[in-house]
Chain A
Amino acid sequence: MSSELQEIEDLIARMAMGNRQAFREIYARTSAKLFGVVLRVLEDRAEAEDVLQEIYIKVWNNAERYRVNGLSPMTWLITIARNAAIDRKRRARPVQSAEMLNEALADPGPGPEAEAVRRSDRERLSGCFGELDDRHAEAVRRAYLDGDTYADLAAHFEVPLNTMRTWLRRSLLKLRECLSR
């Protein structure tokens, strides 16, 4: 883990003990990144600001559960941010989903650490995206970065819903196969 990630992990640990200065530092280091992610999903500044508040409240409240969830610190923060933004975008799914996930992951057990500490890097991912059909790669990207549903994707690519599901599921298998090489 790079020293920067280590520092963020340490800040999360201090935050878990109620250290407000640590919270402020986490915010200074990560808020522009997370706000960018949220804005990308919501495309509405006022809503994005509102959701960013909820995200950092969640980060503060869940900090003590971070260590056992098996995710690297930035992935944990990005996942909380993205889930909150998508929950807001869809409204139908209440915000508790991210909390449920945290609960679910909070079981220490034999963890996924070995796999999770593996540095995910953008080049590896974009290399694997390059092995997919362009439209299939774009579908995965739209789902993750824009929060598109299967219905959104089917409409965008003008294919039947079931075709969309098949594309995407095959793409996921190919991606995982490539990423595991």
Chain B
Amino acid sequence: MSDETPDRDDDIVLAGEYALGLLSDDESAAFELRLASEPELRAIYAAWAEDLAAMTEEVAPVAPPASLLPKIEHRLYPDEIRRRHGLWDRFGLAGLAVAVLALGLYVGPELFDRPPAPPSDPAYTARIAAEDGSFVVAAAYDAESDALYLDRREGAATPGRSLELWLIAGDAAPVSLGLLSDDPVTVVQVTDDLRAVLDGGVLAISDEPPGGSPTGAPTGPVVAAGPITES
């Protein structure tokens, strides 16, 4: 880099180390102070942040559990929890059922006497089953609420283990849709990027350590699988 001054090289390295999180606390704090007053250093840092972020494209997305969004919203707008259903208007009644379920997981199960009802007009369905029929889950996807309704009809998790649901689209790595609940019925919220690949995909359930795969990819045996079909 003959056209660069040694000082600029030092800053390129320092900004790179900062972006990678390799600096000590003191070094980071000093760097942040310089960032505030040196536009050129900000540009060097921003270039690293952009370039390095491209690395995350090799990390498989993992859908967080549906119960998480209500928890976050409760922390963001604590006074709103009782009026929550207003936010769900655009999702219609089926969406409301999901909201109530997610909220229920948060405020406690005593609100519920009955599990949520399956969608009346699902866009897609799947029968996720073991070859010998010892484990069967019926899946139905409601396009209006982006909710995947799962009804476990046969089989259960091994005590002390969790069952994790995966979506496999084409040759892509399996994407986690979350854990099956201990109750027979689980409802999973499907995110935008995953909805597009439901058609023609395969749903699979694997046996995982409690709390789910620690790696973001299936680690245990697949107990059941089935193709998603348009209904």
| A contacts, CB < 8 Å to B | 20-21, 23-24, 27-29, 31-33, 35-37, 39-40, 43-46, 49, 52-53, 56-57, 60, 69-72, 74-75, 78-79, 82-83, 86, 92-93, 97, 100-101, 103-105, 107, 109-112, 114-116, 118, 120-122, 124-125, 140-141, 143-145, 147, 149-150, 168-169, 172-173, 175-177, 179
- With A31-B63, A32-B194, A49-B65 known, 12 other A-B pairs at CB within 8 A are A21-B87, A33-B56, A40-B216, A75-B49, A104-B35, A115-B43, A116-B43, A122-B57, A124-B51, A168-B17, A169-B13, A175-B16
B185 CB, nearest partner CB in chain A, Å: 21
Contacting residue for A31 out of B9, B191, B216, CB 8 A? B191
A selection of 25 A-B contacts at a CB cut-off of 8 Å is: A20-B87, A23-B73, A24-B69, A32-B193, A33-B193, A35-B62, A35-B64, A36-B59, A39-B62, A39-B214, A45-B211, A53-B75, A71-B46, A83-B21, A92-B25, A104-B36, A109-B42, A112-B39, A112-B45, A115-B43, A116-B43, A124-B54, A147-B21, A175-B16, A176-B16
A28 touches B192 (CB 8 A): yes
- Residues in B neighbouring A27, C-beta threshold 8 A: 69, 72
Give Cα A4 to B28, complex, Å: 33
Contacting residue for A29 out of B42, B65, B193, CB 8 A? B193
A79 touches B53 (CB 8 A): yes
- Residues in A neighbouring B43, C-beta threshold 8 A: 70, 111-112, 114-116
Give Cα A71 to B53, complex, Å: 11
Give Cα A87 to B45, complex, Å: 19
B22 touches A149 (CB 8 A): yes
A37 CB, nearest partner CB in chain B, Å: 5
Give Cα A57 to B68, complex, Å: 12
A109 CB, nearest partner CB in chain B, Å: 5
Of the four ranges (under 10, 10 to 19, 20 to 34, 35 or more), the interface on chain B belongs to 35 or more
Kindly state whether residue B12 has any CB partner on chain A within 8 Å: yes
Take A29-B192, A32-B194, A104-B32 as given contacts and tell me if A172 and B63 are in contact as well, using a CB distance cutoff of 8 Å.
no
Nearest CB in chain B to that of A103: its residue = B36
Take A40-B59, A104-B32, A172-B17 as given contacts and tell me if A125 and B64 are in contact as well, using a CB distance cutoff of 8 Å.
no
